[in-house]
Chains A and B, each alone.
Chain A
Amino acid sequence: MRGWIDRRYQLTPLFEFLRHKEVPIGSHWMGWYYLGGVTMFFFVVQVITGVLLLMYYQPGEATSYESIRFLTTKVPFGWLIRSIHSWSAHLMIISLTLHMFSTMMLKAYRPPREITWVSGYLLFLLTLGFGFSGYLLPWNKLAYFATTVGTNIVHSVPLLGDWLLQVLRGGHDVTINTLYRFFAGHVVILPLAFVGLIGLHLLLIQRQGMAPPVGTTTAPRGMKFFPSFALRDLLLWFACLMLLATLAVFLPYGPGIPGMDWELGQKADPFAPAYPGIKPEWYFLWEYQLLKEFPPHLFGLEGPQVCLFVIAILLGIWAIIPWMDRRAYRNMHSPAFSDFGWGAILFLTYLTLMGWDIGAKSGSDDPASLQNIAHTCALWTLAAGVVVVVVRAWRFEHRWFILTGAVLLHIVLHGLVGMSYLVAALIAVVAAAIVIIATYLLGRGNWSAAA
């Protein structure tokens, strides 16, 4: 049989390639290598459960909510499919985020793998797009108002904001036309783009192999991809399947945390008063909170516009890290960029915790409560920051903490001292710049010493 296929398609070179393919074993934990596979597994689950949901879902003003209700209450195992689809979406974003940060910390983006990083980054953005578009599809009250708030952000894009909003919503307001667009995006446009990009991503990984530890071009040891790594991957996927099934049975509507809750509730009613305490999904909370921290007007522009600009800059920097990290480019350790990664994690953590209103006493909008939220979230993030710094210094012998320090200083000034978020950020940025320049000067103009 194999010979019959091989005579026609010449697969022997491919089998030979796979037989000799090895996963590098270095000084770091092997577990990071499995996160891409786990993300891929959750994506496959999404595709399968998504297709099953499509068999019953009917987009429309009078049918979207009703069809999901019918699916979850009357169709055998309909509840299980929806629950697994929702859980898997959240777990996919978690595993994808971990995969992205582990790649960043291990500097696996360094040449020749820059395009792999960029394609992975685009896959991450597409995954967020999946989450955003899928949220509206049940056409329930929570989704309706969350989408109204979420899409409204687009309005702040300079010059094109109004046009973009209309394109996204299919009109001025969130209507059933918006749902049709989101539906088309969720089941056709995004999957096509995702499959194309994931094909490229996998092709590059197979062609170039997994990145060996920094400082080496070939790993001192390797693990056979087939069967050792692949079977371990399979084991992990089964464990993920177990986890998914358990979560779906015991927590069918999510853990009940705001932004991670998919109970159907009431049908969307555009004429109903806005949902109180509306929050986006947890992975958008940091943006939501950052927008809240900006004043209505700044530098003669609207506050949200400036905020979007800042977010765009941050996301842009993240995309071009492989070209910015010159030490990694030369296959050298780059502690400054490791520190940048940890700073980013603490920055996102603080904003996300605040978006969750951790520490709110009464109404989350009164000044006393906001101060209390900032205080509590600052303490939690600082505690996490101290642990990160100690572990890095003690266990990994890192000595570069300028950016992490700047983020922690920012958190102290905002959360504990009570300064405004932007003033605290400005002070932290200036302090970090001074320290970096001083380090550079002390290093006699050697950026390598500074970094």
Chain B
Amino acid sequence: MKTLSIFAGLVLLSTGAFAADQSEVKPSSKLAALLDAKDESGKPIITPEQRSYFEGLNDNLKEMLNHAADKETISRAEHLSILLGLQLSPQKMELLLQNNCILCHSDSANHTPDTLFSTTVEPGSHMNLNDVVEDVHFRRGISCAGCHGGDPTADLGHDMVKEWPEKDRDKNRAWVVAFCARCHADPAKMHDFNPALPTDQLAKFKTSPHGHRLLDLHDDRAPSCVSCHGVHGIRPAKDPKSKVYAQRVPDTCGACHANAAIMAGITRADGSPMPTTQLAEYRTSVHGRALLERGDLGAPRCNTCHGNHAASPPGVAQVSKSCSICHSANSGLFDGSKHKQAFDQHNWPECGKCHSDHNIAKTGDTMLSTAAGGLCGDCHRQYAADHPECIQTADYFHQTIAQMDEARSRFSAESEKLASRGLDVEPISNQLTELTDTLKKSRTYVHSFSRSTFQQAAAPGLAAITKTEELTKVAHEEFEYRRWGLRASIVVIGILMLAIYLKLRQLEKRS
């Protein structure tokens, strides 16, 4: 009985396996014809890669393709080739095959270039098919009908363009914000798609100069959501192709802020014309180069200091707050310094006064110079000439830091030279590490503008200089000792050689 059960089980299993093999969906006759179609020169239209992609699709997607071919939503091999050529993931392919809007608009036989979703037009242009299928909304199932209305599963559906003004849509684009906010300001709706995404964008936008200009002044130059995020190819901010990806933010903002025609007539809070040099300045700044040249995504860009949806120029009091996001140590020291009060009295932007704003250059120790042209000296002569002790303090900062910097360079070169001579430089390297750390710390502690605080920070570095000098001297003495040892050895060996030579001559003369 037991044997019989096992046998029956095996038969069932093998039948099941056979049935599973049989359940594989084969292309319908129409789809097969499309897959096998050849062009005028007799070359297959579906490439081997596309064919291989098709073979790898699951049964459900093959059924959907059969359905689309049978209903002639896909009726041309060239059209099928474009769709298979997208090499979409199964999830996206399923979304695409459910969407008659895309199926129809991606066939060049049905559409003129102005309504065709083509893969050959420039990415980012109005209707690039790759953009459409990469759109963050498409990926989450909100396709054309999500904005345009209509039924994407219907055979023909142009019951759309109901969701926005019929007329003058481009003249007053305030409706765009309200349109996007239907979902993006509704926590309940957003919860269905991405619960982690904030829903306060509209509220923030309303508080921003951008929002004020668009919503209250109805200025058609003012940006709306699509100005920064795009329309049909909207991607998550972490996608390098997104217009709001960290490295693309400067260009996105610069599209308007570096354009003199767009910014004409727009003024700052103090009434001065809004400059258009920020992008060019930022590109050459230490921050811009870190982000754009070195690819440091932690480097600040426009929105780091100005905000995103609530973007606004930071006020004098806010500048240091923006800087302190990253430079917290410098900011903390400055807040406790005498300069804090003085700067406030002059209504100077704290960090920006010395380091500028968009064109922040790499800091250098010469900034501390009290000579003409030096930052400290020039400012103090103009505003604090009655405090000569401040100039002395600045001199002290400058000299101490310059001393440590020079010692570090000198000892590094010395250490390399000694290492190449085979001497143990580990103790010197340890002291150099201490010196480098202290130098970095001392440069930060300049922002305390206090001699005693700075002295405390710099003390280990100065001690390291003394210690390194001693170690270097010992290493040089050791090398000198080796050289003397070598000389002595050579003399001894030389004498022995001479003795042998003389003996040899004597022996050969004798024989």
Among B424, B482, B508, point to the contact of A249 (Cβ < 8 A). B482
Among A83, A238, A245, A253, point to the contact of B496 (Cβ < 8 A). A238
Query: CB-nearest residue of chain A relative to B483?
Result: A249
Judged by DSSP, the binding face of B is helix
Q: Which of B420, B483, B494 counts the most chain A CB atoms within 10 A?
A: B420
Q: How far is the CA of A249 from the CA of B423 in the complex (A)?
A: 10
A250 CB to nearest chain B CB (Å): 8
**0/1 per residue, B461-505, Cβ < 8 Å to A?**
000000000000000000000110110011001101100110110
Q: Which of A235, A239, A249, A252 counts the most chain B CB atoms within 10 A?
A: A249
- Complex contacts, B494 vs chain A, CB 8 Å: 242
Q: Flag if A235 contacts B420 (CB, 8 Å).
A: no
* Known contacts A245-B489, A246-B486: A252-B421 contact under CB 8 Å: yes
- Complex contacts, A235 vs chain B, CB 8 Å: 497, 500-501, 504
Q: Flag if B420 contacts A228 (CB, 8 Å).
A: no
Q: Flag if A231 contacts B504 (CB, 8 Å).
A: yes
Q: Is B507 an interface residue (CB 8 A)?
A: yes
A109 CB to nearest chain B CB (Å): 30
**0/1 per residue, A215-244, Cβ < 8 Å to B?**
000000000100110011011001101100
- Complex contacts, A420 vs chain B, CB 8 Å: none
Q: Is B422 an interface residue (CB 8 A)?
A: yes
Q: Flag if B500 contacts A234 (CB, 8 Å).
A: yes
Q: How far is the CA of A227 from the CA of B507 in the complex (A)?
A: 8
Q: Flag if B426 contacts A224 (CB, 8 Å).
A: no
Q: Flag if B422 contacts A238 (CB, 8 Å).
A: no
A130 CB to nearest chain B CB (Å): 23
Among B422, B497, B508, point to the contact of A239 (Cβ < 8 A). B497
Q: Is B511 an interface residue (CB 8 A)?
A: yes
Q: Which of B286-308 contact A (CB under 8 A)?
A: none
- Complex contacts, A33 vs chain B, CB 8 Å: none
Q: How far is the CA of A128 from the CA of B431 in the complex (A)?
A: 42
- Complex contacts, B497 vs chain A, CB 8 Å: 235, 238-239
B370 CB to nearest chain A CB (Å): 45
A414 CB to nearest chain B CB (Å): 37
A81 CB to nearest chain B CB (Å): 12
A265 CB to nearest chain B CB (Å): 11
Q: Flag if B500 contacts A253 (CB, 8 Å).
A: no
Q: How far is the CA of A246 from the CA of B490 in the complex (A)?
A: 9
Q: Flag if A224 contacts B511 (CB, 8 Å).
A: yes
Number of interface residues of B (CB under 8 A): 22
Q: Which of A65-124 contact B (CB under 8 A)?
A: 72-74, 79-80, 83
Q: Flag if B500 contacts A83 (CB, 8 Å).
A: no
Q: How far is the CA of A328 from the CA of B6 in the complex (A)?
A: 83
Q: Flag if A249 contacts B486 (CB, 8 Å).
A: yes
A191 CB to nearest chain B CB (Å): 27
Q: How far is the CA of A304 from the CA of B500 in the complex (A)?
A: 53
B309 CB to nearest chain A CB (Å): 43
- Complex contacts, A253 vs chain B, CB 8 Å: 420, 422
- Complex contacts, A239 vs chain B, CB 8 Å: 497
Query: CB-nearest residue of chain B relative to A256?
Result: B420
- Complex contacts, A250 vs chain B, CB 8 Å: 421
Q: Which of A245-283 contact B (CB under 8 A)?
A: 245-246, 249-250, 252-253
Q: How far is the CA of A231 from the CA of B490 in the complex (A)?
A: 19
Q: Flag if A242 contacts B483 (CB, 8 Å).
A: no
Q: How far is the CA of A444 from the CA of B509 in the complex (A)?
A: 55
Q: How far is the CA of A234 from the CA of B496 in the complex (A)?
A: 10
- Complex contacts, A249 vs chain B, CB 8 Å: 482-483, 485-486
* Known contacts A238-B493, A238-B496, A245-B490: A228-B508 contact under CB 8 Å: yes
Q: Flag if A83 contacts B422 (CB, 8 Å).
A: yes
B44 CB to nearest chain A CB (Å): 31
B227 CB to nearest chain A CB (Å): 44
Query: CB-nearest residue of chain A relative to B501?
Result: A235
Q: How far is the CA of A239 from the CA of B504 in the complex (A)?
A: 16
- Complex contacts, B421 vs chain A, CB 8 Å: 250, 252
* Known contacts A228-B508, A252-B422: A238-B486 contact under CB 8 Å: no
Q: How far is the CA of A311 from the CA of B330 in the complex (A)?
A: 66
* Known contacts A249-B483, A249-B486, A253-B422: A242-B508 contact under CB 8 Å: no
- Complex contacts, B489 vs chain A, CB 8 Å: 242, 245
- Complex contacts, A73 vs chain B, CB 8 Å: 424, 426
Query: CB-nearest residue of chain A relative to B511?
Result: A224
Q: How far is the CA of A92 from the CA of B268 in the complex (A)?
A: 80
Q: Which of A72, A232, A250 counts the most chain B CB atoms within 10 A?
A: A250
- Complex contacts, A74 vs chain B, CB 8 Å: 424
- Complex contacts, B490 vs chain A, CB 8 Å: 242, 245-246
Among A238, A241, A245, point to the contact of B500 (Cβ < 8 A). A238
B7 CB to nearest chain A CB (Å): 44
Q: Flag if A228 contacts B504 (CB, 8 Å).
A: yes
A126 CB to nearest chain B CB (Å): 29
- Complex contacts, A245 vs chain B, CB 8 Å: 486, 489-490, 493
Query: CB-nearest residue of chain B relative to A252?
Result: B422
Q: How far is the CA of A56 from the CA of B493 in the complex (A)?
A: 28
Query: CB-nearest residue of chain A relative to B478?
Result: A79
Q: How far is the CA of A79 from the CA of B507 in the complex (A)?
A: 40
Q: How far is the CA of A184 from the CA of B503 in the complex (A)?
A: 44
Q: Which of B402-421 contact A (CB under 8 A)?
A: 420-421
Q: How far is the CA of A239 from the CA of B482 in the complex (A)?
A: 19
* Known contacts A73-B424, A79-B422, A228-B508: A242-B493 contact under CB 8 Å: yes
Q: How far is the CA of A400 from the CA of B39 in the complex (A)?
A: 67
- Complex contacts, A83 vs chain B, CB 8 Å: 422
- Complex contacts, A80 vs chain B, CB 8 Å: 482
- Complex contacts, B503 vs chain A, CB 8 Å: 227, 231
A46 CB to nearest chain B CB (Å): 19
Q: How far is the CA of A79 from the CA of B485 in the complex (A)?
A: 14
- Complex contacts, B500 vs chain A, CB 8 Å: 231, 234-235, 238
**0/1 per residue, B414-447, Cβ < 8 Å to A?**
0000001110101000000000000000000000
Query: CB-nearest residue of chain B relative to A224?
Result: B511
A381 CB to nearest chain B CB (Å): 31
Q: How far is the CA of A111 from the CA of B489 in the complex (A)?
A: 44
B188 CB to nearest chain A CB (Å): 50
B491 CB to nearest chain A CB (Å): 10
Q: How far is the CA of A227 from the CA of B508 in the complex (A)?
A: 9
Q: How far is the CA of A241 from the CA of B489 in the complex (A)?
A: 10
Q: How far is the CA of A232 from the CA of B489 in the complex (A)?
A: 20
- Complex contacts, B426 vs chain A, CB 8 Å: 73
B498 CB to nearest chain A CB (Å): 10
Q: How far is the CA of A79 from the CA of B486 in the complex (A)?
A: 14
Q: How far is the CA of A245 from the CA of B504 in the complex (A)?
A: 25
B505 CB to nearest chain A CB (Å): 10
- Complex contacts, B508 vs chain A, CB 8 Å: 228
Q: Which of A365-380 contact B (CB under 8 A)?
A: none
A238 CB to nearest chain B CB (Å): 5
Q: Flag if A227 contacts B504 (CB, 8 Å).
A: yes
Query: CB-nearest residue of chain A relative to B489?
Result: A245
Q: How far is the CA of A299 from the CA of B39 in the complex (A)?
A: 41
- Complex contacts, B483 vs chain A, CB 8 Å: 249
Q: How far is the CA of A242 from the CA of B497 in the complex (A)?
A: 11
Q: How far is the CA of A74 from the CA of B424 in the complex (A)?
A: 8
A86 CB to nearest chain B CB (Å): 11
Q: Flag if B496 contacts A228 (CB, 8 Å).
A: no
B198 CB to nearest chain A CB (Å): 41
Q: How far is the CA of A245 from the CA of B483 in the complex (A)?
A: 10
- Complex contacts, A241 vs chain B, CB 8 Å: 493
Binding site for A on B (CB under 8 A): 420-422, 424, 426, 482-483, 485-486, 489-490, 493-494, 496-497, 500-501, 503-504, 507-508, 511
Q: Which 9 A-B pairs have the closest CB atoms?
A: A252-B422, A73-B424, A249-B486, A231-B504, A238-B497, A238-B493, A79-B422, A249-B482, A242-B493
Q: A234-B500, A246-B490, A250-B421 are known; give 8 further A-B pairs, CB within 8 A.
A: A72-B422, A79-B422, A83-B422, A228-B508, A242-B490, A242-B493, A245-B489, A253-B420
What are 9 pairs between A and B in contact, CB < 8 Å? Answer: A79-B422, A227-B507, A228-B504, A228-B507, A231-B504, A234-B500, A242-B490, A245-B490, A249-B486
